[in-house]
With several copies, the nearest count.
Chain A
Amino acid sequence: MVDNLSSEDPISVAERLAAEALIIDVDGFEGPLDVLLTLSRTQKVDLRKISVLELARQYLTFVERAKELRIELAADYLVMAAWLAFLKSRLLLPPDPEDEGPSGEELAAHLAFQLERLQAMRDVAARLMARDQLGRDFFRRGQGEDVTRLRTVTYSATLLDLMQGYARIRTRDEFRPFVMDRESVFTMEQALDRMRGLIGFAGSWTEMASYLPEGWEMDPMRRRSATASTFAASLELVKEGHLEIRQSDTFAPIHLRKRTETRD
């Protein structure tokens, strides 16, 4: 990976031709690393033994040619050129002991690593695509038999549903107008009174929404008020130790449960 500084001859005719060919086809490249990888092939050596200095020269020539031919190069090609010019100077000049930062050799080694890695990825990509593929070389079952789904429906209802259902019937005539007369505000005291009466029956986790007072669930304004006060009342009851409250996720339904003496 160490550059052989002595043998660097001016670029051969063949290499110049290769570099020019590259310029003409610059659109076909996938970025500066791709150009470097292609250039490195002209060295006809194992990527581990590549001369990064030589590669930097080749790349800089490539950029020069592009400029001469007035080909617009994308910014990252120019960034790479500047970096390689810097690397070249580092490699050529004797190391400055005062200088912190990585040495030219370290930078060159990393570039060689990047090239080798990119080449390796291309090689395995080719091997991957050369594998037998589903739908081309091997095939799935042509007549998959659908799994018949036997659906069993079970119905659920909570004790609260039952109580509310019953209360609904028993109060059908008077209850609704009675509530409708009120303003659309359900006070925390009302909610607390209501909840105290109800929590005794909340043995299992029940959605808070089901505790909303009858007739307050539909109208958005009333619903908001009832939800807010019921939530506040729930928190109060949790504080008092009568109730447990949980929410599985942000915006998920809030569940309530009576707090039992022996917690499970």
Chain B
Amino acid sequence: MTDDPRDAPAESLFDAPPMAEQERMVEAVLFASPDPVSVRDLETRMPHGSDAAQALELLRKRYEGRGVRVVQVGEAWVIRTAPDLGFLMQKETVETRKLSRAAIETLAIIAYHQPCTRAEIEEIRGVSVSRGTIDQLLEMEWIRLGRRRMTPGRPVTFVVTPEFLDHFGLESARDLPGLKELRAAGLLENRPPPGAMPVGEGADESETDEDQSELFEEE
């Protein structure tokens, strides 16, 4: 229990295992123990006359530069992963979630009406659009900012991205099924919606109408 070799009692010289063996013991105990182990604790476990401190020092040196290290935590010792290898302890998992209804509707409106301001989206959906929804779509890189509207306040517009087209297997936003097709598919009711074009009123029809007609009426 002492570092001073002069103090090593003669009677235990015969009992104590060779230092290499003591080092093995310290290694095994540090490995298996669920908690850091103190020098005192090591010595109570090891054969009488063992010098845990010296064995620890040898072990610490042995692990220098290895994938794990022998480190001191307070009064106790522990084996830890080398800090530069922390990245190995991470496992990346990819989780796929369904896009929320609000996000899908917002995305659909942008796709069908682009370029499209937030106010327009809200008007079409009939509810306000949360900042989070737009952010999510921006982050997914399915929409991006378009040019600003030349109207008071110069609101930003949103347009869909090439990533969006890629994800949905579309060559262009014009490939989106038009109103006619939606109607034929039974997704839209047959009656024309009240006021031929219920969307995009007010704010500069010119542009919007043009875009829409391009989108929907072609066939």
**Contact partner of B191 among A110, A156, A161, CB < 8 A?**
A110
A131 to B164, alpha carbons, bound, how many Å?
A: 12
User: B189 in the interface, Cβ–Cβ < 8 Å?
Assistant: yes
A156 to B136, alpha carbons, bound, how many Å?
A: 12
Note all chain A residues with C-beta closer than 8 A to B167: 133-135, 157
14 contacts between A and B (CB under 8 A): A31-B128, A31-B199, A128-B107, A133-B167, A141-B31, A143-B35, A147-B90, A149-B92, A156-B99, A163-B185, A165-B104, A165-B105, A190-B186, A200-B177
Chain A min CB distance to B28 (Å): 8
Chain A min CB distance to B76 (Å): 12
User: B61 in the interface, Cβ–Cβ < 8 Å?
Assistant: no
Interface residues of B (CB under 8 A from A): 28, 31-35, 69, 78-83, 86, 89-99, 101-105, 107-109, 111-112, 124-128, 136, 140, 166-170, 176-179, 181-182, 184-189, 191, 193-196, 198-199
Q: Mark A191-229, 1 if CB is under 8 A from B, else 0.
A: 001100110110110000000011000000000000000
Judged by DSSP, the binding face of B is mixed
- Which single residue of chain A is at the shortest CB-CB distance from B126? A33
Chain B min CB distance to A56 (Å): 11
Given contact pairs A124-B176, A131-B170, a sample of 17 additional A-B residue pairs in the complex whose CB atoms are under 8 Å apart: A32-B199, A83-B196, A110-B191, A124-B112, A131-B177, A138-B80, A140-B78, A143-B35, A153-B94, A154-B95, A161-B104, A162-B104, A162-B107, A166-B109, A171-B187, A197-B181, A200-B181
- Which single residue of chain A is at the shortest CB-CB distance from B82? A138
Note all chain A residues with C-beta closer than 8 A to B78: 140, 143
**Contact partner of A147 among B31, B80, B91, CB < 8 A?**
B91
Q: Mark A52-75, 1 if CB is under 8 A from B, else 0.
A: 000000000000000000000000
Evaluate contact between A166 and B80: CB separation under 8 angstroms.
no
Interface centre among B34, B128, B198 (most CB of A within 10 A): B198
**Contact partner of A156 among B31, B91, B98, CB < 8 A?**
B98
User: A111 in the interface, Cβ–Cβ < 8 Å?
Assistant: yes
A220 to B97, alpha carbons, bound, how many Å?
A: 25
Evaluate contact between A155 and B99: CB separation under 8 angstroms.
yes
- Which single residue of chain B is at the shortest CB-CB distance from A178? B189
Note all chain B residues with C-beta closer than 8 A to A193: 186
A106 to B112, alpha carbons, bound, how many Å?
A: 25
A56 to B147, alpha carbons, bound, how many Å?
A: 39
Evaluate contact between A139 and B81: CB separation under 8 angstroms.
yes
Q: Which of A19-71 contact B (CB under 8 A)?
A: 30-34, 36
Evaluate contact between B105 and A168: CB separation under 8 angstroms.
yes
Note all chain B residues with C-beta closer than 8 A to A140: 32, 34-35, 78, 80
User: A101 in the interface, Cβ–Cβ < 8 Å?
Assistant: yes
Note all chain A residues with C-beta closer than 8 A to B31: 139, 141-142
User: A137 in the interface, Cβ–Cβ < 8 Å?
Assistant: yes
Evaluate contact between A165 and B108: CB separation under 8 angstroms.
yes
Chain A min CB distance to B40 (Å): 15
**Contact partner of B194 among A34, A102, A132, A162, CB < 8 A?**
A102
Note all chain A residues with C-beta closer than 8 A to B136: 155
Evaluate contact between A159 and B169: CB separation under 8 angstroms.
yes
Evaluate contact between A164 and B33: CB separation under 8 angstroms.
no
**Contact partner of B108 among A83, A106, A169, CB < 8 A?**
A169
Evaluate contact between B184 and A197: CB separation under 8 angstroms.
yes
